[in-house]
Structure 1
Amino acid sequence: MVISDENNSVQIKPTNVQEMNGRKFGAEIRTNRRALTAINHNLRGPNNPYPCLVNKRDYPESNGICDNNLPLQSHRPITRKYAAQIAGSRHNFPEETKKPKTSSSTNEFSVWEDIPLTDSEKDHPVPMSLEHSDFEISDKNQMEEVEMEDIFEESVVDIDGCDAKDPLAVVEYVDDLFAYYKKMESSSCVSPEYMAQQSDINERMRAILIDWLIEVHHKFELREETLFLTVNIIDRFLAKQSVVRKKLQLVGLVAMLLACKYEEVSVPVVDDLVFISDKAYSRKEVLEMEKLMLNSLQFNMSVPTPYVFMRRFLKAAQSDRKLELLSFFLIELCLVEFEMLKYPPSYLAAVAIYTAQSTLYGVGQWSKTCEWHTGYSEDQLMECLALVVGFHGKAANGKLTGVHRKYNTSKFGYAAKCEPAHFLVQMHSL
């Protein structure tokens, strides 16, 4: 009799007499073979065709192992763990397991044949959890190889699958929608040289105006897209119409009024705009400027701004709240700077998110999914990276600190307190 322990297989020579459940066996087996044959014959049948079936619960000392060192089939199913026990017992006794099995007609102690396993289970049986066998080492190496392949063979994630049942997500044509935005974003851009045709205003005045409007937008608690459309309307109007210095603030207020009418549910009234301008303009002047701006822009308010791309790209980046706030902090800093008009809205959105990712989590965050949905590789974003990091570094200094004060509050998670990613500029300048 061979007993296979789970952790240490040891051969024990059979004794003349063994005691199982208070009954003595041994001599009776040797002297009364006929009786045992009859018992086996009675056990054989359609419900129990295997004579050597042993109930492990009735004979715990046997541990389910027969004389030929192969495990007996119990009522338990062939699980991966049990298959490993079978393989382990065969591994411990390689010479004996090569012996051919004898039928029940010649040997009363014939073995119940194992239930066939699948090909994968035959080739790679899983060892028991407490053993460190060759099988376990092999499986562990295979798992490490699979994990390494997953790292190097990154695939594009389906970011819209979770919104399949949301009709507002328009999953059926969201890709076509953003492809159209990318195609039409050039129509929302203005020439970065348009300020040359303005005789009484300059780039610095525009920056002061937008920095002030960001604070007004925050005070009125308007929607995020309203701010981006306001800045877009200002630039498109100034690119077509010459404005004197004293009317520049009026242009900004009316641009915000038009953006609110397009985006907001509750629109600020004209008297509110007159009040926040310290009554520098009358109600009549506001309405006259509104007509002039609408005619100049040919009533075209539907343009892709950086906001629409920000939302899509943040979803592709699988962002959390912290990344989202820092990304919007950086993109609003870009709104103030006139030199950023030379970049398309989608590019600015991608750069802001990439810079925010690197600032919070280090380099190497730009995934294949981000590259697929933005259309920009990591190398393409390097052109604008130094500018964005520079804006972040000087956001708290100087006179134009409206964006920094806004994002230095608990409502915006103190995103402005994050340290600028100067290491990115140094790394890519090498």
Structure 2
Amino acid sequence: MEGAGEIRRGVAKPAVVQDVGNRRALRDIRNLVGEAPYACAIRKNKSGLHEHNTTCIARRPVTRKFAATLATKQQTSPQNERIGKENPEKKPESLLTSSNCLNICTDIEEDGTMVDEMEEMDQSGLKDVEMEDRILDSFPDIDSCDSNNPLAVVEYVEDIYSFYRKTEVTSCVSPDYMSQQFDINEKMRAILVDWLVEVHYKFELMDETLFLTVNIIDRFLARQTIVRKKLQLVGVTAMLLACKYEEVSVPVVQDLVLISDRAYTREEILEMLYLCEQEVLILNTLQFNMSVPTPYVFMRRFLKVAESDKKLELLSFFIIELCLVECKMLMFQPSLLAAAAIYTAQCTLQRCKCWNRTSEMHTTYSEDQLLECSRFMVDFHQNARTGKLTGVHRKYSSFKYGCTAKSEPAHFLLNADL
């Protein structure tokens, strides 16, 4: 057949290409076996054999180990093997001879210490990986118990929380944002949040709904000024939006009117919600960003790390809900708040400082980093019963929550050294 003996890039051309409609034969996409990975690395000589371009390859860093491997293996391309069979008198040249390898290494070493530096970098990289593997192996696998639970997403959980840590700053606001408001202040915000805690408890909503509600309120008030008459309406709307995002069953508008002690009419609440849907108020101000890492998502992960029981879990949530009421606690990131709440709860129950290496590794916070935040929490705990805002204390004083609020605060943390 005509053209059967012609060789182009190691593949025989077909004699006839059938014309099937508008289909055309695929072009050479340089994916053939033995094809040169770099255009300047190999070139053909007049005899059709491949010869090595030492000038071009010398620009690539070649270690002694790599050069010796190429020299001993004497790699040949399929094109040379085919030509060797057709013309046995001519022996295919090696892609890279030992003399060429020696010249390459000599040229690189004359120019500088590139080879040594590359070897040192490779060795240091391997040492770092080995060190990380040893560190991880020395800690218990907290997700092994959920290996058969598809909802635990064990394969991705570390990546998920790594993403949460990178993006949690987007959910934070300045602790002094109230200075931008002209008609409301921090005390009014505290009263609103304390009241919403009771509303949340009465409606038996999910824990994540409460944390998202407070986050929506803070992010909205940090960007939008309102009058005090509308503050409770903002809180009600924020809770309804959080319910739509987190809950399966959403409270009806008439229930919101009743819990507001009829301070707002059904029409006013619907008008507020309508404006939100029209991207004029809350959702427009927040740019529809409802997926933010609140302290709740970190609480769940860190409680698992701490191998918590029900008592530690309830006490940790009691402490962190006390922080929701206080505007100054906005100075701490959600992950730090969660870690400090669990640390404070552990100290409260065990009456001593305890923060093991496993908790420190998974939370990325040391005991010294948690101590400042923990002192605030102890102060809130000891004043929860006697203060003016007792919504959280009453909630956690019920039998449903194990009378957690009646536990003795960890006073010794107030005198601990930073």
**Aligning the two structures, in what range does the TM-score lie when normalised by the shorter sequence?**
0.5 to 0.7
| 2:293 equivalent in structure 1 | 304
Q: Which amino acid aligns with 1:378?
A: E
Q: 1 CA distance for matches of 2:141 and 2:267?
A: 52
Question: 1:377 and 2:366 equivalent?
Answer: yes
| 1:346 equivalent in structure 2 | 335
Q: Give deviations 1:237-273, integer Å, cap 9, x for gaps.
A: 0001101011100000000000000000010011110
Preserved contact between residue 200 and residue 244 of structure 1 (Cα < 8 Å)? yes
Q: 2 CA distance for matches of 1:365 and 1:399?
A: 32
| 1:222 equivalent in structure 2 | 205
| 1:334 equivalent in structure 2 | 323
Q: Which amino acid aligns with 2:141?
A: D
Q: Which amino acid aligns with 1:358?
A: C
| 1:179 equivalent in structure 2 | 162
Q: 1:240 aligns with which of 219, 223, 234?
A: 223
Q: Give deviations 1:152-186, integer Å, cap 9, x for gaps.
A: xx942211011001000000000000000000000
Q: Give deviations 1:92-113, integer Å, cap 9, x for gaps.
A: xxxxxxxxxxxxxxxxxxxxxx
Measured on the aligned residues, the alpha-carbon RMSD in Å equals 1.4
Preserved contact between residue 198 and residue 242 of structure 1 (Cα < 8 Å)? yes
Q: 2 CA distance for matches of 1:237 and 1:364?
A: 38
Q: 1:386 aligns with which of 340, 361, 375?
A: 375
Q: 2:305 aligns with which of 316, 320, 326?
A: 316
Matches within 5 A, 1:9-408: 155-290=138-273, 291=276, 292-408=281-397
Equivalent position SS for 1:176: helix
Shift of 1:415: 0.5
Equivalent position SS for 2:345: helix
Equivalent position SS for 1:279: coil
Equivalent position SS for 1:172: coil
| 1:23 equivalent in structure 2 | none
Shift of 1:274: 1.1
Q: 2 CA distance for matches of 1:240 and 1:283?
A: 26
Which has the greater radius of gyration? 1
Aligned pair in 2 of structure 1 residues 155, 425: CA closer, same or farther (>3 Å)? farther
| 2:25 equivalent in structure 1 | none
Preserved contact between residue 333 and residue 391 of structure 1 (Cα < 8 Å)? yes
Q: 2 CA distance for matches of 1:232 and 1:425?
A: 28
Q: 2 CA distance for matches of 1:272 and 1:250?
A: 13
Q: 2 CA distance for matches of 1:363 and 1:381?
A: 15
| 1:12 equivalent in structure 2 | none
Q: Which amino acid aligns with 1:407?
A: Y
Preserved contact between residue 155 and residue 368 of structure 1 (Cα < 8 Å)? no
What residue ranges of structure 1 are gaps of 5+ in the alignment? Answer: 1-153
Shift of 1:364: 4.1
| 2:130 equivalent in structure 1 | none
| 1:411 equivalent in structure 2 | 400
Shift of 1:193: 1.9
Q: Give deviations 1:49-100, integer Å, cap 9, x for gaps.
A: xxxxxxxxxxxxxxxxxxxxxxxxxxxxxxxxxxxxxxxxxxxxxxxxxxxx
Q: 1 CA distance for matches of 2:154 and 2:353?
A: 29
Q: 1 CA distance for matches of 2:282 and 2:354?
A: 42
Equivalent position SS for 2:381: helix
TM-score normalized by the length of structure 1: 0.63
Moved over 3 A (4+): none
Shift of 1:416: 0.3
Shift of 1:361: 1.1
Preserved contact between residue 223 and residue 264 of structure 1 (Cα < 8 Å)? yes
Preserved contact between residue 155 and residue 369 of structure 1 (Cα < 8 Å)? no
Number of positions where the alignment pairs a residue of Structure 1 with one of Structure 2: 277
Equivalent position SS for 1:428: coil
Q: 2 CA distance for matches of 1:204 and 1:335?
A: 13
Q: Give deviations 1:362-398, integer Å, cap 9, x for gaps.
A: 3342111111111101111112121110000100012
Q: 2 CA distance for matches of 1:332 and 1:168?
A: 27
Q: 2 CA distance for matches of 1:364 and 1:339?
A: 25
Shift of 1:423: 1.0
Equivalent position SS for 1:157: coil
Q: 1 CA distance for matches of 2:264 and 2:414?
A: 45
Q: 1 CA distance for matches of 2:355 and 2:140?
A: 13
Q: Give deviations 1:330-352, integer Å, cap 9, x for gaps.
A: 00000000000011000000000
Preserved contact between residue 313 and residue 370 of structure 1 (Cα < 8 Å)? yes
Q: Give deviations 1:182-228, integer Å, cap 9, x for gaps.
A: 00000000111210110000000000000000000000000000000
